[in-house]
Amino acid sequence: MAHKTSAVTDEPIEVLFALHPKFDLLDFAGPLEILEWARHDKNDESTKAFECTIAAAEPKVISEQGVVIGAQITYKEAHERLNDFDVLIVVGGNHDAILKEKSEPLPIIEAFAELQRNDYTRERTLMSVCTGSILLAEAGILAGLSATTHPDYFTKFEIVCSNAAQRDLQERTDVVEDARYVVNNLRFDLGDEDENPYIRRKSDAGRRPSAARKGSVSFKGSNGRRESMARRAAMRLGGLRVITAGGISAGLDAALYLVSILVDEETANEVARFVQHEWVKGTVVDGLDV
């Protein structure tokens, strides 16, 4: 497979869903539905924007709701192919058992983050839905970042974040309690900060659409600015974009945000219209695109 410098290409963006026993069904099915309907050209079915792959420990995995999902690859194969994927999505449900057993998806979360640290020129995104963020916290991913989770699990989330920070001697996590999703590590060049709709605290306020195709390297020459790989390397996690979504249905909103940054906002709005979902925007942590 050709080495990618950005997830933004005319070919599908490779997404890996990491499932575990008793995962929450909508945490998985909601984002999957959003990504499957995204097209680079809404009038051309062949321009599918995302290619989704399901990984699990066994060929079949059962959700908390009793629905059985067939895995396409095992975790062993997922680890072997991990460099093929641009996005890793971790869902919620049954997190206590995973924390106790230190089982998947904890190892693949850590491995995906390590890939970015070792190859900061590549654009990768790690996204969690609902209590999936507790697994990111346990893996040490959220140190020094802002993040959210299901409102009923804020206390548990804060404890896991605090324990991970003490264990790894890292900064604490800023737990955000009033956002549908929280985004860290901005990396696409759309102009000056005042003109960039993605550098903001509240996404709902005054967003101006852009027809620009977004990506870490594809825009390195726009507006006379060039991306600094040295600055990317200095970012947390090598510039890994980390998105944590709140409870269950917030995964749809976070997935729409993912479409907006990896394809464009027009496509995200079209998908929202098609699935009849009102896209409630979340929080993007203040930062400087590099």
pLDDT tens string 236-254:
788 899 999 999 999 999 9
* pLDDT of 33 over the 60 cut: yes
Establish if 6 belongs to a structural domain: no
- Are 15 and 30 a contacting pair, CB within 8 Å? no
Establish if 158 belongs to a structural domain: yes
pLDDT at 225: 36
Which residue's entry shows tokens 């925007």? 281
Establish if 258 belongs to a structural domain: yes
* pLDDT of 228 over the 90 cut: no
Establish if 67 belongs to a structural domain: yes
Three-class SS of residue 255? helix
Helices (H), 82-206: 95-101, 106-118, 132-138, 154-168
* pLDDT of 59 over the 50 cut: yes
pLDDT digits (tens, 9 = 90+) for 167-213: 999 999 999 999 999 999 865 443 444 444 433 333 433 333 333 33
Establish if 188 belongs to a structural domain: yes
pLDDT digits (tens, 9 = 90+) for 135-159: 999 999 999 999 999 999 999 999 9
Establish if 1 belongs to a structural domain: no
Other beta carbons less than 10 A from residue 74's beta carbon? 15
Cα–Cα distance, 241 to 267 (Å, whole number): 20
Number of domains in the chain: 1
Establish if 68 belongs to a structural domain: yes
Identify the CATH number of the domain in which residue 229 sits. 3.40.50.880
Query: In terms of residue numbers, what domain contains 179?
Result: 13-284
Half-sphere exposure of 97 (CA within 13 A, CB side): 10
- Are 142 and 110 a contacting pair, CB within 8 Å? no
Establish if 5 belongs to a structural domain: no
pLDDT digits (tens, 9 = 90+) for 74-104: 999 999 999 999 999 999 999 999 999 999 9
Global pTM value: 0.85
pLDDT digits (tens, 9 = 90+) for 108-132: 999 999 999 998 888 899 999 999 9
- 19 or 211: which leads in pLDDT: 19
Structure confidence at residue 230 as a pLDDT band (50, 70, 90): low
Dump strand ranges (E) for the chain: 13-18, 50-56, 60-62, 68-70, 73-74, 87-90, 125-128, 146-147, 174-175, 181-184, 241-245, 283-284
